[in-house]
C-alpha cells in the first residue's frame, strides 16, 4: 500500500513578524503629546502666578488707600502748625502724596503685569497647543496610514497562509484569484506600500523629534523672557516704593528743629510773654479802693512798748492808728514777708488814755486781736506803756489817740502791773518806717467794742470824745 502524505501548513509566523516589524510610531506620537502637555501645564502655572501677583498688586493698592485714610484728615489743632512748606503740615502733605503714589504705583504694576507680562505666557500657551495640533494632524495622520497599510498587508498574508495550507490536500486545484503565486505577489505589493507609509511616518516623526528640541528651547527662552519682564516690573515697583518712603523720611529730617517754634512765636506774639518786657512790680499795681480814706492810717510809725512780763525791757514795734479807731501793733511794716496780722489790737473807744509824760504815755484797754490767747474765755485788760523816739513824736501820737479814745485821764497810773496773767512777750523786729500821720476822715466806731460785762471789769465809764456817742455807764 502506497504511503500517503498528510497535508501540512507552512509556518508563516516568521514572515508575519518581519512584515509587521519596525518602530511603534503611535507610542512615539503619544510620548510627544504627553511632553507638550507637560510644558503646557508648566506655562499655565506661570500664567496663574502672574495673575495672582496682579491681583495682589490691586489688593495692595486698596490697602494703601486704607493707609492713606489715616492721614487724609486735616491735622487736629492745625492752627498750631505753620502751613508753609518745610514744617509739620508740609511733612504730612508729603506723606499723603507719597502714600497716594504708592497706591497708584501698585495699580500701575497690576496693569503692566496684565497687559505686558501675562500675554507672553498666554501666547506661548497657544503655541504649545498649536504644536500639539500640528503633531496630531501631521505625524498622527501618517501613523494612522501606517496602521491601515499594516492591516491590509496582514489580511493578505493570512489569505496566503490559508491557501498554501490547503494547496497540497486539494491537489493544487485553487481558484484563479486564490492562486498562491498571485497572493504572494499581492502581499509583496501591499507590504511595499506599508513600508513606504512607515518610512514616510518615520521621516515625519524624525522631523518632529528634531524640531522638538528647538521648540523646547523656544519654550524655555520664552519662560526666561517673561520672568525677566516680571522681575523688571516688580523691581520698578519696589524702587518706587523705596523712593517714596525715602522721600517721606527726608522731608521729615529737613524740618528745622525751631521752624515750628519760630512760626508759633510769630503767630502768637500778642499772646505769649515778651521776654524783653520788664517784670511786674507790686508797687506799680493799682486796685479798686486801694486809696480809700478808710485805708489810710491816721498816724503810723515805730514806738517802744514795755513788755507785759519783763517790765524793765522796751520792745520796738510798728504801730498804726486807723480811721476805724484801732491801734494795731505789727512786728514790721513789711507787707510782703508774711501776712500782716497784728500782734495786738486796741479798740481806742474802749480804752483809757493816761497822762503824757515827755516821750511816754499809757493806754489801758483790751487786746482784741483774734486768736491771741487760744482756749481762754475772756480777754484781759492791760496797761500798755508806750515811748516815742522824741517828745514831739509822743505829742503827735498822744493827740491822735486822745481824739479816738473813750476816756482820757491826766493821772499817772499808780502801778503798771496787769490785772490778770498775760501771755509770753513776742520779740519784735527792727527796721520800721519813720513816724507818719495823715489828716484823713474822722474815725468811726468799729466792731471791736467791749461788751457791757467787760466794761464793768474796767470799773470806769467809757465813751468817745470830740462828739462821739457814750458807749455805756460803769456798773457797780
Beta bridge mates, 319: 301, 329
Mean per-residue pLDDT, 170-193 = 80
Across the chain, mean pLDDT equals: 79
Mean per-residue pLDDT, 131-155 = 78
Distance CA 262, CA 265 (A): 5
Report the pLDDT value the prediction gives residue 137, as an integer from 0 to 100: 75
- Strand, coil or helix: 316: strand
Q: Given pLDDT bands bounded at 50, 70 and 90, which one contains residue 446? A: very low
Residue 176 reports pLDDT greater than 80:
no
Q: Which three cell numbers stand for residue 397?
A: 501820737
Q: Which domains does the chain have, with CATH numbers?
A: 18-261 (1.20.1270.60), 294-458 (2.30.29.30)
pLDDT digits (tens, 9 = 90+) for 270-325: 888 888 888 888 888 898 998 999 999 999 999 999 866 666 788 999 999 999 99
- Strand, coil or helix: 428: coil
Q: Given pLDDT bands bounded at 50, 70 and 90, which one contains residue 253? A: very high
Residue 434 reports pLDDT greater than 50:
no
Q: Which residues lie below 8 Å from residue 422, measured CB to CB, with a gap of 6+?
A: 308, 309, 380, 382
Closest CA to 162 of 7, 18, 19: 7
pLDDT digits (tens, 9 = 90+) for 316-361: 999 999 999 999 999 999 988 888 999 899 999 999 998 899 999 9
Residue 458 reports pLDDT greater than 70:
no
Residue 382 reports pLDDT greater than 90:
no
pLDDT digits (tens, 9 = 90+) for 393-407: 999 999 999 998 877
Beta bridge mates, 345: 328
pLDDT digits (tens, 9 = 90+) for 111-123: 999 999 999 999 9
- Strand, coil or helix: 462: strand
Report the pLDDT value the prediction gives residue 203, as an integer from 0 to 100: 79
Residue 7 reports pLDDT greater than 60:
no
Residue 187 reports pLDDT greater than 60:
yes
Beta bridge mates, 436: 300
Amino acid at each position: 500500500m502506497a504511503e500517503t502524505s498528510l497535508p501540512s501548513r507552512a509556518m508563516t509566523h516568521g514572515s508575519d513578524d518581519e512584515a509587521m516589524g519596525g518602530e511603534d510610531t503611535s507610542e512615539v506620537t503619544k510620548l510627544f503629546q504627553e511632553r507638550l502637555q507637560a510644558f503646557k501645564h508648566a506655562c499655565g502655572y506661570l500664567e496663574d502666578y502672574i495673575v495672582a501677583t496682579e491681583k495682589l498688586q490691586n489688593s495692595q493698592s486698596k490697602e494703601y488707600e486704607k493707609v492713606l485714610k489715616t492721614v487724609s484728615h486735616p491735622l487736629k489743632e492745625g492752627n498750631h502748625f505753620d502751613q508753609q512748606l518745610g514744617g509739620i503740615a508740609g511733612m504730612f502733605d508729603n506723606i499723603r502724596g507719597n502714600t497716594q503714589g504708592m497706591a497708584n504705583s501698585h495699580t500701575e504694576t497690576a496693569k503692566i503685569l496684565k497687559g505686558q507680562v501675562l500675554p507672553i505666557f498666554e501666547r506661548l500657551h497657544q503655541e504649545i497647543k498649536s504644536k500639539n495640533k500640528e503633531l496630531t494632524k501631521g505625524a498622527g495622520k501618517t501613523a494612522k496610514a501606517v496602521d491601515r497599510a499594516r492591516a491590509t498587508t496582514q489580511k493578505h498574508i493570512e489569505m496566503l497562509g490559508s491557501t498554501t495550507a490547503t494547496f497540497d490536500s486539494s491537489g493544487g486545484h485553487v481558484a484563479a484569484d486564490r492562486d498562491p503565486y498571485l497572493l504572494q505577489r499581492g502581499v509583496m505589493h501591499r507590504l511595499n506600500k506599508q513600508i513606504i507609509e512607515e518610512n514616510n511616518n518615520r521621516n515625519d516623526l524624525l522631523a518632529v523629534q528634531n524640531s522638538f528640541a528647538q521648540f523646547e528651547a523656544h519654550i524655555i527662552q520664552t519662560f526666561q523672557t517673561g520672568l525677566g519682564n516680571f522681575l523688571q516690573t516688580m523691581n520698578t515697583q519696589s524702587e518706587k516704593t523705596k523712593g517714596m518712603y525715602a522721600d517721606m523720611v527726608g522731608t521729615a529730617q529737613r524740618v528745622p528743629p525751631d521752624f515750628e517754634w519760630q512760626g508759633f512765636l510769630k503767630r502768637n506774639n500778642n499772646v505769649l510773654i515778651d521776654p524783653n518786657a520788664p517784670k511786674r512790680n507790686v508797687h506799680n499795681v493799682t486796685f479798686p479802693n486801694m486809696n480809700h480814706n478808710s485805708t489810710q492810717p491816721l498816724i503810723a510809725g515805730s514806738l517802744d512798748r514795755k513788755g507785759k512780763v519783763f517790765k524793765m525791757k522796751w520792745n520796738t514795734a510798728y504801730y498804726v492808728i486807723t480811721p476805724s479807731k484801732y491801734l494795731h501793733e505789727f512786728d514790721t511794716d513789711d507787707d510782703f514777708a508774711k501776712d500782716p496780722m497784728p500782734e495786738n489790737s486796741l479798740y481806742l473807744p474802749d480804752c483809757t488814755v493816761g497822762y503824757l509824760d515827755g516821750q511816754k504815755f499809757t493806754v489801758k484797754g483790751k487786746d482784741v486781736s483774734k486768736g491771741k490767747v487760744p482756749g481762754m474765755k475772756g480777754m484781759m485788760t492791760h496797761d500798755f506803756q508806750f515811748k516815742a523816739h522824741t517828745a514831739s513824736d509822743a505829742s503827735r501820737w498822744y493827740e491822735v489817740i486822745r481824739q479816738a479814745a473813750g476816756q482820757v485821764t491826766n493821772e499817772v497810773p499808780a502801778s503798771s502791773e496787769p490785772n490778770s496773767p498775760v501771755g509770753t512777750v513776742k520779740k519784735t523786729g527792727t527796721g520800721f518806717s519813720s513816724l507818719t500821720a495823715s489828716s484823713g476822715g474822722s474815725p468811726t466806731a468799729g466792731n471791736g467794742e467791749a461788751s457791757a460785762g467787760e466794761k464793768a471789769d474796767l470799773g470806769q465809764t467809757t465813751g468817745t470824745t470830740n462828739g462821739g456817742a457814750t458807749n455805756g455807764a460803769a456798773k457797780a
